[in-house]
Structure 1
Amino acid sequence: MKAKPSAASRTIQTSLVLPSDTNQHGTIFGGTMMSYIDEVAAIAAMKHCRTTVVTASIDSIDFLSPVKMGHSLCIEAFVTATGTTSMEVFVKIISEDLQTGERQLTATSFLTFVAVDERGRPVPVPPVYPQSTEEQELFQSASERRRMREARRANSKRMIDHLDLTHRS
């Protein structure tokens, strides 16, 4: 399979923060931002592999600054690293006060997607290669994030053995 540049998967979505998107503080709900992150990251992953994908993990979402009603969000995502059937996607969100033009980094996130066929079975994805400085730095640090992801998954599997699944609401 021929390798593709990270830039080929780059996906950008701009949204306006409306009253229905905000909490009692007049800032965007974290869950609304999480939904945007998953959607844009999934599109970037599908652009890379040109098939359906499923979200395998959301490693982190770091909320760095609040976003007020009336501000815009620029959500940017691209594939930073690949495995055999999986892709790591980086997302950054920049907010902008549309009246002053002030922009700030609002959130960052790493997600993993698995490419699947029509029956939901994993399928191979093309390798990715970085070009820009940002892409190169994220590509070089991807193996450490993968190691942490695998350790977290192993811990989750161990914890499942001790969960009580008998309580019903």
Structure 2
Amino acid sequence: MRFHTRKLVKPGDLNSNGTLFGGRLLAWIDEEAALYSIVQLENGKIVTKYMSEINFMSAALQGDVIEIGIEVVKFGKTSLTLNCEVRNKMNHETIVTVDNIIMVNLGENGKPTPHGKTKIEFVKDRLAALGEFD
């Protein structure tokens, strides 16, 4: 799993127990899944269709640095299925896992449309193919 994003847990991110609010964490996960899908599918029109069971395993406290990891489970015709792990950057303790996040590729009409992708692509490889990056 590749960990792409880090977040600092700030006072405004906390719940009444003084730990990271689950809703805030889910918003961060949804945003990371969307950004990952936009880059993979080369389309800014992506929506979240589904999130499977969310397994909270440990708490994050104010001042903790967390990192969000995303990996591809499957390429569908119009979708991309991902899984996610959020962990504490300092001790690598898992905070939450989400087994399946389904993101759907939309066309100009706002309807699901085939994306034509079958494997993970890296931006550096796309740029190299265009002769813009070595």
| Structure-2-length-normalised TM-score | 0.80
Q: Which runs of 5+ in 1 are unaligned?
A: 1-6, 130-169
Corresponding residue SS for 1:69: coil
| 1:76-155 map, 5 Å | 76-96=69-89, 101-109=90-98, 110-125=100-115, 126-128=117-119
Stretches of 4+ aligned residues off by more than 2 angstroms: none
Percent identical residues: 28
CA RMSD of aligned residues (A): 1.7
Query: Residue type matched to 2:119 in 1?
Result: V
Contact 1:57/1:113 (<8 A) preserved:
yes
Contact 1:27/1:67 (<8 A) preserved:
yes
Q: Which runs of 5+ in 2 are unaligned?
A: 121-134
Contact 1:11/1:43 (<8 A) preserved:
no
The count of aligned residue pairs is 117
Residue 71 of structure 1 and its aligned partner are, at CA, apart by 0.3
Larger helix fraction of residues: 1
Q: Tell me the residue number matched to 2:8.
A: 16
Contact 2:3/2:67 (<8 A) preserved:
no
Looking at structure 1, the residues matched to 16 and 7 of structure 2 have their Cα atoms a distance apart, in angstroms, of: 20
Residue 12 of structure 1 and its aligned partner are, at CA, apart by 0.9
Looking at structure 1, the residues matched to 53 and 31 of structure 2 have their Cα atoms a distance apart, in angstroms, of: 15
| 1:58-77 map, 5 Å | 58-77=51-70
Looking at structure 2, the residues matched to 13 and 103 of structure 1 have their Cα atoms a distance apart, in angstroms, of: 14
